[in-house]
Structure 1
């Protein structure tokens, strides 16, 4: 396997990436972790992974994201496992060409559960330049998870015919160098 590529379904078998956690009051919450790989977008990326950028492997060139029991192994430049036992399991894994709409489609059910009284958190985590802002906020041509979630919630509210009243609260924060920035305002620290 080429450097910079990912392998679907590789690694040790586990029970999956969804976890059910029990709190002190026997409250059950589901946690699902998804992986989204950022495509190579500049000369630095392609210089560090020329083979993966020049010729995608069968494992990375599929058009549909793997949506369950996905795993990723860390490989060295020779395609060998770089760390013994370094296999990470995810509920969903999205290849570099996945769109924000495809990512949201896998999480829309969880987002819409807020209309039934559940809480939902969408969180992007990664190093600077890894695509967190693009995934969460998107662009004019490709809306991110936050605008897609808002659209989905209001579409569900409009379709409801039971006369229920709703009060929705949304926070979108960026934590950068131990500072919180409110993304729904003009980049002012909180």
Structure 2
């Protein structure tokens, strides 16, 4: 017995089928034969030689091909997930987390209709909550680190740059001539 109503299941199935059609149309319009992503750089660009081009032109073309292949791989994975979700609908296991066997809330299925996981069991989610491994081997800074340490270190610090330069005046203040005191400037 599913926790989803017939209307909810119908709406989700409709959303899955619409997205499947969009993705199938994308692959029909942009398959490897038409986009020439599987061909050499020379064939895909239509150039007789890549020698006469600036190296950045080849770099741009390589980047664009790489990006397109990455997008196609992500869309192909999404299409496979949609097919699996439709299969789970046929089997009557749709909306049940494949790990915990708990019901997936309708709101989550509305957002990601092909998901087989409850939020708590999404693979890779646990690593997002953990702190970086580097923190385990880092030592805390010495006591007094920060402003107090910088003031007493005896070294020039970029944070003090304006204070040092300001002693020489600014564009709007009079600047004493070399060898003259600032009191002597009016003369």
* Structure 1 length-normalised TM: 0.19
Comparing both structures, which one devotes a greater share of its residues to helix?
2
Q: Higher strand fraction: Structure 1 or Structure 2?
A: 1
TM-score scaled by length of structure 2? 0.20
Greater Rg over alpha carbons, structure: 2
